[in-house]
């Protein structure tokens, strides 16, 4: 029986106060890691830590509030965290926008949050992982990276860039015991996605009907024909963070419900 054991490891999960990040942090903690919960405000971080401990009191958690979309915030997080073995760059923003109405500022904002936050933290933490001879860097990407949606081109392109970032840093870490991978998450059920769904379908529909309408009209390629639950993404992340995935690096692994129409990962 395969067992994921992260005892003795320290992990940072950015954007882990809710949604996919919350599920990832919970899974890593359940596998024995000491997990640093990160968000922009002390209030949201404290609330998330309390919620995780209420679920499982034995989890080893620390909360650090820092805005990693800035160089100063990223540096502050790393300084407070100390030695980190697992970095999960989960933070991201998304939203629908008319393609020809996306401003320069919006484009820049999406790259600052979805790409450069991951680049900065990788640049700060990868050297220490290399020196210790073990590390895991995981970037949470999206099916939108390979199937660019017309209603949010800026988001999709930023996630495409993140796939390239992952592959490039995997090469930079070659032979050091550090792996770098991206996880392509499909349409996932989070509060933010519920808001997004209601941007595209009638707000008068009850949630289950709205979800089905959204998948039918905007994500018909899904083979599971439902939104993915955050824990399903977290399960892949926990595996990739473990010694079980020691030969997997430079990859883009899909947890997309079969949404991307490809026989390759």
Distance of CA 181 to the CA centre of its chain: 11
State the Cα–Cα distance between residues 140 and 238, nearest whole angstrom: 12
Mean of pLDDT over the chain: 96
Of all residues in the chain, what percent carry a pLDDT higher than 70?
A: 100
The model's confidence at residue 90, banded by pLDDT at 50, 70 and 90, is very high
Q: What is the pLDDT of residue 204?
A: 95
Furthest C-alpha separation in the chain: 56
State the Cα–Cα distance between residues 68 and 91, nearest whole angstrom: 9
Q: Which is more confidently placed, 192 or 74? A: 74
The model's confidence at residue 5, banded by pLDDT at 50, 70 and 90, is very high
Q: Which residues pair with 135 in a beta bridge?
A: 178
For the cut 80, the answer to whether the pLDDT of residue 102 exceeds it is yes
Catalytic residue among 110, 155, 239, 259: 155
Q: What is the pLDDT of residue 196?
A: 84
For the cut 70, the answer to whether the pLDDT of residue 1 exceeds it is no
Q: What is the pLDDT of residue 112?
A: 97
Maximum mean pLDDT: which of 48-52, 207-211, 219-223, 258-262: 48-52
- Is residue 211 within 8 A of residue 225, CB to CB? The reply is no
Q: Which residue has the tokens 């067992």?
A: 3
pTM: 0.94
- Helix then strand then coil, % of the chain, to nearest 5: 50, 15, 35
For the cut 90, the answer to whether the pLDDT of residue 265 exceeds it is no
State the Cα–Cα distance between residues 39 and 45, nearest whole angstrom: 6
C-alpha distances in Å from residue 103, one per residue of 116, 170, 258? 19, 32, 32
Q: List domains and CATH numbers for the chain.
A: 10-186+229-253 (3.40.50.720), 189-227 (no CATH)
- Is residue 65 within 8 A of residue 97, CB to CB? The reply is no
- Least confidently predicted of 22-36, 147-161, 193-207: 193-207
Question: Does the annotation count 110 as an active-site position?
Answer: no
State the Cα–Cα distance between residues 14 and 77, nearest whole angstrom: 10
Distance of CA 37 to the CA centre of its chain: 13
- Is residue 21 within 8 A of residue 234, CB to CB? The reply is no
| 3-state SS assignment for residue 208 | helix
| 3-state SS assignment for residue 65 | strand
């Amino acid at each position: 029986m395969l067992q994921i054991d992260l005892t003795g490891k320290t992990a940072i999960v950015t954007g882990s106060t809710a949604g996919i990040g919350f599920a990832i942090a919970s899974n890593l903690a359940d596998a024995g890691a000491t997990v640093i919960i990160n968000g922009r405000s002390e209030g949201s971080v404290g609330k998330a830590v309390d919620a995780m401990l209420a679920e499982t009191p034995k989890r080893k958690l620390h909360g650090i509030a820092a805005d990693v979309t800035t160089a100063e915030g990223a540096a502050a997080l790393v300084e407070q965290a100390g030695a980190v073995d697992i970095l999960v760059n989960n933070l991201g923003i998304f939203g629908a926008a008319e393609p020809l109405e996306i401003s320069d500022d919006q484009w820049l904002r999406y790259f600052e949050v979805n790409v450069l936050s991951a680049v900065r933290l990788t640049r700060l933490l990868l050297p220490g992982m290399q020196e210790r001879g073990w590390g895991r860097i995981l970037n949470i990407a999206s099916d939108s990276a390979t199937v660019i949606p017309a209603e949010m081109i800026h988001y999709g392109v930023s996630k495409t860039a993140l796939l390239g970032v992952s592959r490039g840093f995997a090469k930079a870490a070659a032979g050091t015991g550090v792996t770098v991978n991206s996880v392509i998450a499909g349409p996932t059920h989070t509060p933010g996605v519920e808001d997004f769904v209601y941007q595209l379908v009638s707000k008068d529909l009850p949630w289950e009907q709205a979800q089905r309408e959204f998948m039918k009209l905007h994500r018909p390629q899904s083979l599971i024909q439902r939104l993915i639950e955050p824990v399903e993404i977290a399960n892949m992340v926990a595996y990739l963070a473990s010694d079980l995935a020691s030969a997997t690096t430079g990859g883009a692994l899909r947890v997309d419900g079969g949404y991307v129409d490809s026989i390759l990962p």
